[in-house]
Structure 1
Amino acid sequence: MTRHEFLKMIEVHHRWVQDLAEPIPFSSAELYLDARVADLITENEWNTSKIIRNFMPYVQQMITTMPVPSFSNPDARYWKFDSKGRYSVKGGYQKAIGFYDNPKNQSRNMLEGWWKFIWSISVPPKVRIFWWRLSKDLIPTASNLKMHHIPTAETCHYCGFGKESTIHALFTCHQSREVWKQTTYWSWIKKITNAPTLEICLWLKWTLTKTDFENLAVYTWAFWKARQTAYHGKISAISGMDIHWVLGWLKDYKKAQRSLHVTTQPEPQNSALYWTPPIENHWKLNVDACFNLNSQSFGIAGIVRGSNGEAILAFGRQINQPLSVLGAELLAIKYGILELKEHNLTSVTIETDSLLSKQAVFGEEDYLDYEGIWISEIKEMMKSVAVDNLVHVRRSANVIANALASFSSSSPTPFSWVNGEFPT
């Protein structure tokens, strides 16, 4: 029997598409349950129009990207419970005792690649953990809570239509879709239906490049976090949230990861752990930036202190434009230098707990957009204001600047306090 003849024998509703753990759902009744895969093939090519009419959007691309055999192959036995088709005594025993009767065990081998993929993507660990939980339907949606005997309504809290499953909460709820429309991934997201969670995950892996999947993974994590924050009443709604900061945040993470492996300009091991006053007749400016999830804005701030440790100047403002974390940290430095210039302060050391911003200012890497412009401006202003140095310190040595940035992120009113005007 040739491979093509074998395809003709396989019924369409069987699990014949790689990475689909359950029978393929139909979107129309055009195909009968005894239809064969060969019914979808015309002259050694997939019948695309028939596939589009009969299968869910997330399945269509999986099918059409499978190569149709153009020549006959020798017959071969294939053990479907092994990823390479090889029979083993262990596999036979597991089949005999009913191990593979559980759908989760049927798909065990082909899912090994998925788990390896999830743990290999270049995103922060908390995002990888979130996607591992998402894949296993372990995030606390209303439907999952109900299934674990927690008394709660299964209806979606936001749209009021249907059960709040994992896929509904993240992708198909109309409020969720309003957020996804802000991203470049809407063309994929709008194709998602309320199919099994794992199948959607595998389809996204199949469809997207690894970089695009990483971006989408962080978007999804940030959206779920905002959705939970809104549910607990800390923000008013999710449909209007701005998630453009996500890609900048991921970009900064990847840059920081790369910096761990470079051998040029290593960071000294003696970065200050606690704040210390400058020498007499000199000043220290500590700056920081902070993102507020509730207000969807950054806060930047700084404080200037002298040799006796007393503050003589502090400033802060809320930034509502979409920025990367690096961009916000650079903006804090820039505004800090502008404050120094306005108050005629020289002989100043600037301290930041952002290692990336220090490396950006003193490094040779070219940055595009606003980041590159601000780096150039900072370099020029440091010369004109006679800034002694820009140094990296630990967060514990930048506590007050961080507190002021956190305050600014939730306050729309900018402030600039000088000696004698500080609030109590």
Structure 2
Amino acid sequence: MQDTLGDSIVALDREHSVSTLIRNGEWDTDLISASFNPYIAGEILKIPLNDVVVRDSLFWKYDAKGRYTVKDGCRLQRGLFIPPTHQSVHPNEDWWSFIWNLSIPPKIHIFWWRISHDCIPTNQNLYRQHVPINESCSLCNFSMDSTSHALFFCAAIKHLWKNTMFTPVLRGGSHSCTLELCLWLKEQLSKADFENFATHTWAVWREKQNAIHRDKKMPLAADVTWSLSLLSDFRKSKNKEQLAVIPVKGRLLLAFGKQINQPLSVVHGELLAIREGILLIHDKGFTDVQVASDSLLAVQAVTTEQEDLGYIGLCATAIRKHM
């Protein structure tokens, strides 16, 4: 059987079905790699599998949960329908895509989202929100504690930037707002360098806040290199589920890590980890299962028994089946 995207030959008979490619609830990686070209094999392995058998049903591709409405159908027929994934396009969409695809810890993603919106709690931003505070910098007494000043140009933190490769970049160009500076930096740095820059910026902000609010002494420049170690450790652990299973009395029973293929979202990755943990507990002979998660969306997906044929809903159904 010949595939439709290339001239490679699929070593399967026509009577075979998708189930032929599945073994013990997982994709048969060896069979798929031997039967399809690398691109097709990679796309197949990205598709999440669930151990819940559901009846075949129609799925409306323009809705995340597969639900069709007459309103959407009419608007699509009249050429007025805009799929959800194309709504609310921001004029700086490339910037947001760039930021969220950086290989950095989630808390640094969020930190840079706040920088981009100019809403980190500098004195100037707090003053704008009617907090009774002086707009000047708490460390160097500069008249305006703006976002760019707080992160890059404050005299109290200059030594933390002095010997880095980013100093010449920060001095170059001009900018009228923080987002303009961010866009300038994006053009000047490679993706890997920007990841280091983003992590170092977060570390500088953290140390500055410790100096202001915890009366800690501002560290030497060499003492901030821990941020690069943080980034290195994060990259090593990326795409791995880290799970700890703890009994009721609080004593650690067992823990494990497992590499997963392309979770479709953070919530999906959380649900996959929960499912694997429950299956592991059952294999060890335990029947009373209690699950704790710091993801509100994952908890809601498991505890809300509404029909959802999307990948989140199917994964949540699989968890409920085993609990």
Q: What is the TM-score when the length of structure 2 is the normalising length? A: 0.46
Identify, as 1 or 2, the structure richer in helix.
Answer: 2
Q: Identify the structure with bigger relative contact order (alpha carbons < 8 Å, sequence gap 6+).
A: 2
Tell which structure's C-alpha radius of gyration is larger.
1
Q: What is the TM-score when the length of structure 1 is the normalising length? A: 0.36
